[in-house]
Each structure stands twice: as structure tokens, then as C-alpha cells.
Structure 1
Amino acid sequence: MTDPAPAGIRPHRRKRLWAACVALLAAGAVGCGSTNDTAAGSATPAPRPTVTVSVTATVTETAEPEPAPTVTKTRTVRKPGPTVTVTRRASGTTGTSGSSGGVSSGGGTCSITSNAGNCYAAGQFCRNSDHGATTTTAGGTRIRCSYSGSAWRWTYA
């Protein structure tokens, strides 16, 4: 059973189209089948380039000094509040355990620093862990964490 011809193509034109496609396919297969890597008329293949790779490795080792020993001193606050631990490093800087240094730019040292590592100033709020503790400001003035006006604040000692 044959399909009816589409509206714009006549049956004899479809046969010619198939014949042309088959002829092109055959010509392409014949043309692709005879490839030759050697030059025409010579029996030896063409020379290929040689690749040479040079690798040079350099290793540099840097020595780092050993960390200095840490001395920990615990002092007990007489007023209600927690125990405050002060850590002194061998280089002379001070800070609370877990902070990154406590040397102030004003020449004094503060033994209790904020979570960001800064010295406290009078009037700032105290952390719960600092209630009743005493430290110094960046300028060296002594301040104490005391209950004042319904909040724990750093006040001049």
C-alpha cells in the first residue's frame, strides 16, 4: 500500500528525490573510503615533530618560631560574680582567655576586653560574665562593672 502524495509534490518527483539522495550518499562513501596518510608516491610517512618537556621544581621551607609559654592566673572577685581568668603571654600582652590581645593604644593595659578584643570604656554595658569585675580603660583609668540604673554598666572605680 502506498501513501497518498502530499498536496504539493507529485509521485514521480518523490522518486527522483530518493534517487538523488541515494546517489549523493554513495558518492560520499566512495570519496571517504580512500584516505591515505602517506604522501602521494612515497613509501615512508612524513616525519612528526618531537615534543620535549622540561620540569624544574623549587621547594622553599620557612621556619617559624615556637610559641611562647602561657601563664594563667585566676583571681576571685569578692563581690557576687564569676571567677575571672587573666592570661598573660610571654611577650607582655594581656587579655582574657579566648580574646586576641588586650594591649590598648593609649599606653595602659586592660585585663578584660570585649568579644571584639577592644578595651571597655565607662558607661558601656557589662557582659553577664563580668559582673563585679574591675579592669582599666584604654587610657589606664580603673573601671568596675556595677549595677547602676537597672542595668550592669562599667563605671569609674
Structure 2
Amino acid sequence: MANPYNAPAPIPPAPRPPDTRPLRRRPRVWIGGVVLFVAGTLVGTAGNGGQQPVETKVKPATTITATSTVTATPEPGPTVTETVKAAAKPRPTVTVTKTAVARAAGTNSGGGSGSQDTTGTCSIVSSSGNCYSAGQFCRNSDHGATTTTASGAAIKCTYSSNAWRWSYV
């Protein structure tokens, strides 16, 4: 009895002998070359698709230059001086002078918003010199500080809504 696992392997067929004819004598090579040549010619001639060439005309570039001059500093208003004399008989007379600068009509600062004033009574001002208003963020150095808005309302730097903000006292 023969073991099927020990059977001899089948012998592969003998390799085909190389074609001894040169490439120029093989008909399949000629047919393939002619087909590629004809396909390339058809693609090359149908490249424009019957469209007319478009001529482009270069237009000169237009440059517009605008110059604007804005003065942010208002003209100074008139100065009002009030002098009060205190009469004290045993001492020499004391003179107290109050000086106030009247605001010129229609002038405001703060970039045209009109909500902030650089000449207000606020004791703490922003880096740009404007008074703070309620709702704005506080600097680290202002945490817990109290000041007034440009209109004179008291505000304090408090921690609310995960941020330090100015809020009304």
C-alpha cells in the first residue's frame, strides 16, 4: 500500500523556448504600435474641442489713495477761576483758589464711542488712559480695587463669571 503523503511531486512542464524572431518581425508588436500611434494622433488633434482661442487684454491697475487726518485732542475750553477769601481776625487772611476747566461743547474721547472720558474723576484708568466702566475686564493689579466710572458711579473689581470684571458697588 502506498502512502499518499510520500507520493512523488509532479514534474512541471518544460519551459517554453524563447522566441527567436526579433521584435520587428512579431505581428503583435506591430499591431500594438499602430494602435498606440493612431490613438495618440486622435487625442492630439481633438485637444481644442472646436473652441476659439481667447485673447486676453491686460487692463491697467487702478490705485486709489485716500488720506484722512483726525485730531483726537479737543481744543482747550475757557478756564473758570473762583477765589474765596476767609476772614480770620487773629490770623493773616487765607486765600483758597479753585480752578476748573470747562469742557468744550461736543468733545469726547475714547475713540468716538462717547462712553468713556479721559478727563473724568476716575482714580484708576486703563492702559490707554480711559476710565473703566462696569462689565470690562480688570487688570491683575486692580483685583479688589474700587474706582469710579467717567460718570461718577462707583465700581469695584470683583471675581464673577470665571473672570475679574468691574461691577457696580
- TM-score where L is the length of structure 2: 0.32
Which has the higher relative contact order, 1 or 2, with Cα contacts under 8 A spaced 6 or more apart?
1
- TM-score where L is the length of structure 1: 0.33
